[in-house]
Chains A and B, each alone.
Chain A
Amino acid sequence: MTPQLMFFPVHHPARDGDPGHNGDMTLLELESGRRVLIDVHIDTAADDDSDAPNVAQMLRDRLKRDSQGRKYVDAFLLSHPDEDHCKGLDNHFHLGPPDTWSKEADKILIREIWSSPMVFRRASTKHVLCPDAKAFKREAKRRVKRFRESGNLVSGGDRIQILGEDESGKTDDLTAILVKVDEEFSQVDGSLDPSLKTRLLGPLPKASDESEEEALAKNRSSTILRFTLTSTGREDACLFLTGGDAEVAVWERLWQRHYWRAGWLRYDIILTPHHCSWRSLSYDSWSEKGEDAEVCSDARSALSQTRSGAEVLASSKPITDDDSDPPCVRAQREYEAIATEAGGLFRRIGDSKKPLRYEILWEGPRRVSERATAAGVTGGGAIGGQPLIHG
């Protein structure tokens, strides 16, 4: 099948007292037919509000059912356990042993979880996990326990890969399911999948320098991956870089680690970290320094290893010209500049109510244009869309 990258429009603008939200949900459909989901954000508004894009249904429409009638993803990666990256997980995904999956609930089965080692950390008072993140952590722990109990003899629905080593050695006995930073792997759901190579760039190991560690500690848990997707015999038909909410110190450090092999950071498509946040590009506060805030050159370098025509995507609510962050209008300008230098475009995913979709051809990724639909033409427009006073 033609591989695809799909970014779901999980964000909506502020309205009626709702401040709007950022959020991530990305689906990789591989040439092998396997599907890897990165983060999930299915708002209750999307469940209830007929006007919001029904991203749950959009996702389900893309998934196959297995021989037991279960919709499934081959792998699910939670980049980091913030609510805007895991909302709706418990509601829409089956968590627990696969044999407890119920037809009535008809939730999506996750064959393999890709998790950072954060599941081994103790609950922190500084960083309180949302219910979905807690559910994820429970499920990841269950799977690690299953692995420990049965060796590597687990099957789809129980599998897990840990992306990065735990600092306190809790992953030392997990070699078979552990991917170390800087490694590239091609395992999906227990099988070698030649249509995808995934390089683990972060979370970065604990820094020896104390001040550096302090800078890195915040949001260091975000998993940073560079995916290489194969299409019709071309191994690197598409390079996709995604880094959760990783902030400037992480990107700066990444550049310093990899500038001499910058190809590791190269991309056709990047999901800008932290929903187009200024804090991924600069140590300076946008709200305080405004236009005087300076871009961290190394972080920018890490984030601008574009291939020709690269597209830079923001998974954010609409970007406003004010001092809010994220998303930040200054970050948008910087990313637009990066895209322009590559001859590409900056896009906000939520600008359409449909998923932003790229098909990966031998010639490289190509955005799938949106067809005009009959509903768009014959829909009620204002009728039913807004209150209409009649005298």
Chain B
Amino acid sequence: MSPDSIRRAIRLIRTHLSVVGVGEPCQRPGSPITDVEIEIQVEMPLAWKARGTSPNGVKAKESALLRFSDDYPLYAPLIFLRPDFDRSLAHFLPGPPDARPQPCIYDGDPSELIQQLGQHGLTELINHLVAWLEKAALDRLIDPDQGWEPVRRDRLTDVVIADLDHLRSWVKKQQGCRLLFSGFLRLREPGRENVYGCLFGKKFAPRNPSAISALRDQTIDDALDQGTSLAIVVWPDEKRIAGSYMPETVTNLGELKVRADSYGCSRGLFKVLDWLSTTIVRSGLYGAFPIGIILLVRRPYKLIGSESSLEACPYIIEIDARKGLGQDDQASVRPAGHRHSISRQLLQRMSGFGDYTRTPWVQVGAGSLGSKIALHLARAGDAPSSVIDDDTLSPHNAARHAVLPLPEDPYLSWGGPKAFAVAKGIAGLGQATEHYTRSITSVTRDAGQIRDLIPENSWALVNSTASLAVREALSSISVEWRFPRVIETSLLSDGMLGIVTIEGPGRRPDTGGLISYAYDLMRRDHELSLLMFRDTTRRPNIGEGCSSHTMIMSDARISLFAASVSELIHSLRRRGLSENYGQVFLGQLHRDGISLQWRSHNVDPFIIVAAENSTSWKVHVSRRADDEINAELERWQNVETGGILLGRLSESARAIYVIDALGAPSDSTRSASHFLLGVLGVRAALEEYARSANHSLYCVGTWHSHLAPSAPSGTDHATGKTIAVARLLPSTLLVVTPQGYRALLAEGAACED
């Protein structure tokens, strides 16, 4: 620390209104440490202040030592209170009992606070110290309304990783103890103490020599050992409530005994430790094994931010296999910090998403987009219940697939099913996902197989396959099978465009209708239509003589869209899918290549009319087409009228999607008994329409009105045949009657019946 920095620091501290004294900086020769004693006015109730002390011994003027290192201001000064400050007042950093106590004044890294606030950082640190002392005087460092403040373990280097919810689930009214298998890491650095990490498993270890024989210690490299060891979880009898706060000061076995005794955990813990010590010595093993210990201490009320009043107090003891723990209680005990193991709950908390009902959802397609969506959701603690994809990983997938290829696991870069790779990644995120390597298209006609793949109460199925065949297959699934709503996500045009369609309630509108709607939106937007209707698929060379039908774009660009889509799905998971309509989202990448703009459209359910001369074909009429038809009916109330239907059809789904309805050409004739659709300009108009949508939308038939409730007439059937003969595609003759729509299919087979 430069003399300038300390001068400035002291000047700043002096300006603080609660600092009533600042001592001379004290630097021992050759030491990088500079100590500054300060005196702080601690505001407390006036009567206590008159006495000069609070009932719990906090003085109205407290001294504190600020210890600056030569790294200041990169690192915040350490703050120590007077040696006899009452340590039972909570919020102390762990430290040996003979050292000056260090208050935990800031919920975070004080050095970051200093950096974050610049020149104000140091005074803010003093603000925190003053507030801490004032709360200590009032004995309000622990606020029962907020919860029990766990013993601070912030700066401990050793950690235990454990799923506390799971451990707590074992706790009964009586005291108890569990021996578990655990993994461990030992980090070695020359000249420094080893650092240990213990991963508490969930598998109980038997209390017999076979547990000891499972211990392993393997050197990974110069700095790292890895192995298998044992861990102990102990809890006290329900009557043993530890209601007073004790900062972490344990350093050896004797002190641990005293501490565990005060928590009511001593008997259970030392019974296991004594057994372990004796058994390991008899085992003939060499080396030393870190044993993780968690005391589940019963507190008088729930811990802050937790629904449990059981506080985990973790320690690590390294036990020498040849000597055991010895008889003098001097074996070193290392207090450890706790980290939650990776779990759904931890990921939910970290993602900032509260709890919501997590019905299963299904990811179809585990390619570059699908894998990213599945893993984004999994990282937020909401992994799909199953992933379906029949494709396998190839080396070129490494360019964009979310799962990292691992050198030691070539299956993840070559040959392994994509669905397996995603499920394996999700397993690492503490969640279970089934993977299926079957093609979804192969099972859509079999209700039994669908039930095998798709959980019955599934919230939705996300299709990211970019496969038109899969879309068609999903659209073709019978409504009676109670198939979940489909969310389709796809990228188009070299990743310049993204589409998400979300089916409406009861799958109305379905994906086929929503995609038709999306095509129409793009057809109407010049810029979008230019992007959408150009062929950008290329067949990149992925090996000698091999190519793949895909788009060329970077992993990052896919991530741009995948991130948006994942956020959208997450939002829908929390809010629920609309009970009124389906949705289309169009995302367009700006020319700058980095800005992404999404526009959303709500799409009303289509009116579905079964063709009367077919057992399977249905006509799906969009709200817009319906409105256009009704507007024409308004104009021609006393005569039959009609026009031309535009949209697209799905052979697999046996569906004709009507998106638009054109009025009749001027040479049409209307009377009370018939309507004659003219031809003037029709051909050119239809060609122009189809061209504007790059033939993704086209003429799908005709419509006309009947003035009275009636079935399609003989004339209609005859016209249907005429159309069927002259058109290659199935068409519909839609009849609008006062009682609703009726439909005929104009298609070779249907018209021959």
Task: Please give, as numbers and ranges, the residues of chain B lying within 8 Å of A343 by CB-CB distance.
Answer: 49-51
B113 to chain A, nearest CB (A): 12
> Complex: how many Å from CA A121 to CA B44?
45
**Given A366-B43, A366-B45, is A372 in contact with B16 using a C-beta cutoff of 8 Å?**
yes
- A369-B17, A369-B41, A370-B18 as given contacts; A268 in contact with B126, CB under 8 Å: no
Chain A residues with CB under 8 A of B130: 369, 371
CB distance from A85 to the nearest CB of B (A): 26
What 1/0 mask marks residues of chain A from 350 to 391 whose CB sits below 8 Å from any chain B CB? 001000000001011111111111101110000000000000
- Interface contact B138-A363, CB-CB below 8 Å: yes
Instruction: Give the CA-CA distance A310 to B120 in the complex, in Å.
Output: 34
Of all chain A residues, which has the CB nearest B18?
A369
Which B residue's beta carbon lies closest to that of A308?
A: B47
- The distance in angstroms between the C-alpha atoms of A343 and B45, with both chains bound, is 12
Verify if B134 is at the interface (C-beta below 8 Å from A). yes
A301-331 contact mask (Cβ, 8 Å, vs B): 1 or 0? 0000001111100000000000000000000
Instruction: Select which of B41, B44, B123 is within 8 A of A377 by beta carbon.
Output: B123
- Please judge, given known A-B contacts A344-B50, A372-B123, A376-B123, whether A366 and B15 are in contact too, CB under 8 Å: no
A342 touching B127, Cβ below 8 Å: no
The reply to whether B43 and A365 contact each other, CB–CB distance below 8 Å, is no
How far, in Å, is B475 (CB) from chain A's closest CB? 54
**Judging by beta carbons under 8 Å apart, are A365 and B18 in contact?**
no
The reply to whether A368 and B43 form a contact with Cβ atoms under 8 Å apart is: yes
Q: Are B127 and A371 in contact (CB under 8 A)?
A: yes
Q: B726 an interface residue at 8 Å Cβ cutoff?
A: no
Establish whether residues A378 and B43, one from each chain, have CB atoms under 8 Å apart when the complex forms: no
CB distance from A346 to the nearest CB of B (A): 13
Q: Within 8 Å CB of B43, what residues of A?
A: 366-369
Closest A residue by C-beta to B139: A363
Chain B binding surface, main DSSP class: helix
Contact of B134 among A309, A310, A369 (CB under 8 A): A369
Across the interface, which residues of B come within 8 angstroms of A377, CB to CB?
12, 15, 119-120, 123
B62 contacts chain A at the CB level, 8 A cutoff: no
Given A372-B15, A377-B120, decide whether A309 and B126 contact each other with a Cβ distance below 8 A.
no
Interface string of B112-153 (1 = CB under 8 A from A): 000001111001101100110010001000000000000000
Residues of B within 8 A of A371 (CB): 127, 130-131
Shortest Cβ gap from A309 to chain B (Å): 3
Query: Would you give the 0/1 interface string for B38-81, flagging 1 where the beta carbon is closer than 8 Å to chain A?
Result: 00010111111111000000000000000000000000000000
Contact (A309, B17) CB under 8 Å given A363-B138, A369-B41, A377-B119: no
B43, B47, B118, B131 interface centre (most CB from chain A within 10 Å): B47
Q: How far is the CB of B42 from chain A (nearest CB, A)?
A: 8
Interchain CB contact under 8 A, A378 and B118: yes
Tell me, rounded to whole Å, the shortest Cβ–Cβ distance linking A356 to chain B: 12
Query: Roughly how many angstroms separate A227 CA and B470 CA in the complex, as a whole number?
Result: 79
Interface centre among A269, A361, A371, A373 (most CB of B within 10 A): A371
Contact pick for A378, options B18, B50, B51, B119, CB 8 Å: B119
User: Which residue of chain A has its CB nearest to the CB of B118?
Assistant: A378
How far, in angstroms, from A364 to B16 measured CA to CA in the complex?
25
Cα-based distance from A304 to B678 in the complex (angstroms): 108
Nearest-CB residue, chain A, relative to B125: A372
**Which residues from B are CB-within-8-Å of A310?**
46
User: Interface digits, A164-200 against B, CB 8 Å rule (1 contact, 0 not)?
Assistant: 0000000000000000000000000000000000000
Whole-angstrom distance from the CB of A271 to the nearest CB of chain B?
15
Q: Cβ of B48: which chain A residues have Cβ within 8 Å of it? A: 309, 363-364
Asked whether A361 lies within 8 Å of B47 as measured between CB atoms, the reply is no
- Asked whether A361 lies within 8 Å of B45 as measured between CB atoms, the reply is yes
- A263 to B734, alpha carbons, bound, how many Å? 96
Q: How far is the CA of A363 from the CA of B119 in the complex (A)?
A: 36
Q: Find chain A residues with CB under 8 A from B12 CB.
A: 377
Chain A residues positioned under 8 Å from B17 (CB to CB)? 352, 369-370, 372
Q: Which of B15-38 contact A (CB under 8 A)?
A: 15-18
Docked Cα-Cα span, A371 to B16, in Å, equals: 8
Per-residue A-contact encoding for B7-18, CB less than 8 Å = 1, 0 else:
000001001111
Q: Please, how many angstroms separate the alpha-carbon atoms of A365 and B43 in the complex?
A: 10
A261 to B16, CA, bound (A): 43
A344, B127: Cα distance in complex, Å? 24
Cα of A368 to Cα of B130 in the assembled complex, Å: 11
B57 to chain A, nearest CB (A): 15
Question: How many Å lie between the Cα of A368 and that of B134 in the bound state?
Answer: 9
Q: Report whether A376 and B15 are in contact in the complex, using a CB–CB cutoff of 8 Å.
A: yes
Look across to chain A and name the residue whose beta carbon is closest to the beta carbon of B52. Answer: A343
- Please determine whether A361 and B16 come into contact, CB atoms closer than 8 angstroms: no
Contacts of B41 in A (CB 8 A): 369
User: If the complex has contacts A377-B119, A377-B120, are A364 and B127 also in contact, measured as CB distance less than 8 A?
Assistant: no
Please measure, in the bound complex, the distance between the C-alpha atom of A364 and the C-alpha atom of B137, giving whole angstroms: 13
Q: Is the CB of B45 within 8 A of A372?
A: no
Which single residue of chain B is at the shortest CB-CB distance from A358? B46
Compute how far the CA of A371 lies from the CA of B128 in the bound complex, rounded to whole angstroms. Answer: 9
> How far does the Cβ of B602 sit from chain A's closest Cβ, in whole Å?
35
| Pairwise interchain contact B120-A268, C-beta atoms closer than 8 A | no
CB of B119 within 8 A of CB of A372, answer no
B120 touches A378 (CB 8 A): yes
Give the docked Cα–Cα distance between A311 and B45 (Å). Answer: 11
The answer on a CB contact under 8 Å between B118 and A309 is no
Among A269, A309, A352, A376, find the residue whose CB has the most chain B CB atoms closer than 10 A. Answer: A309
Q: Which residue of A lies closest to B42 (CB)?
A: A369
Q: Is the CB of A307 within 8 A of B47?
A: yes
Picked from B50, B124, B127, B131, the residue with its CB within 8 Å of the CB of A309 is: B50
Q: Judge whether B47 and A364 touch: CB under 8 Å.
A: yes
Per the bound structure, the CA–CA distance linking A311 and B47 in Å amounts to: 10
- The smallest beta-carbon distance between A140 and chain B, in angstroms, is 35
Interface residues of A in 186-239 (CB under 8 A from B): none
Q: Are B46 and A372 in contact (CB under 8 A)?
A: no
| B701 smallest CB distance to A (angstroms) | 60
Is A363 a contact of B124 with CB atoms below 8 Å? Answer: no
Chain A nearest Cβ from B76, distance in angstroms: 15
Residues of chain A within 8 A (CB-CB) of B47 are: 307-309, 363-364
With contact pairs A366-B43, A372-B15 given, residues A342 and B50 touching in the complex (Cβ less than 8 Å)? yes
* Assembly CA distance A107 to B700 (angstroms): 68
Q: CA–CA, A370 to B46, complex, Å? A: 16
Closest chain A residue to B126, Cβ basis: A372
Tell me, in angstroms, the Cα distance from A371 to B132 when the chains sit together: 12
- Residues B49 and A372 in contact, CB atoms below 8 Å apart: no
A307: chain B residues within 8 A (beta carbon): 46-47
| Cα–Cα, bound, A371→B12 (Å) | 13
Q: Which residue of B lies closest to A238 (CB)?
A: B46
**Contact of A361 with B138 at beta-carbon distance under 8 Å, contacts A369-B17, A369-B41, A376-B15 already known:** yes
Question: A87-121 interface mask toward B, CB cutoff 8 Å, 1 = contact, 0 = none?
Answer: 00000000000000000000000000000000000
Task: State A361–B123 Cα separation when bound (angstroms).
Answer: 27
A311 x B46 contact (CB < 8 A):
yes
Give the docked Cα–Cα distance between A310 and B50 (Å): 8
Within 8 A of B (CB), among A328-354: 342-344, 352
Q: How far is the CA of A147 from the CA of B218 in the complex (A)?
A: 91
Task: Decide if A363 touches B45 in the complex (CB within 8 Å).
Answer: yes
Contacts of B44 in A (CB 8 A): 363, 366
Of chain A, the residue at the smallest CB distance from B123 is: A372
Instruction: Determine if B120 and A365 form an interchain contact, defined as CB atoms under 8 angstroms apart.
Output: no
Question: Which has the most chain B C-beta neighbours within 10 Å: A309, A344, A372?
Answer: A372
16 example contacts (A-B, Cβ-Cβ < 8 A) are as follows A307-B46, A309-B46, A309-B47, A309-B48, A309-B49, A309-B51, A364-B46, A365-B45, A366-B134, A369-B43, A369-B130, A372-B16, A372-B17, A376-B123, A377-B12, A377-B15
Known: A365-B46, A378-B120. 12 other contacts (CB 8 A): A308-B46, A308-B47, A309-B47, A310-B46, A342-B50, A344-B46, A361-B45, A363-B45, A363-B47, A364-B48, A370-B17, A371-B131
Q: Which residues of B come within 8 Å of A, CB atoms?
A: 12, 15-18, 41, 43-51, 117-120, 123-124, 126-127, 130-131, 134, 138
Shortest Cβ-Cβ A-B pairs, 8 listed: A343-B50, A309-B46, A309-B50, A372-B123, A364-B45, A363-B45, A374-B120, A308-B47
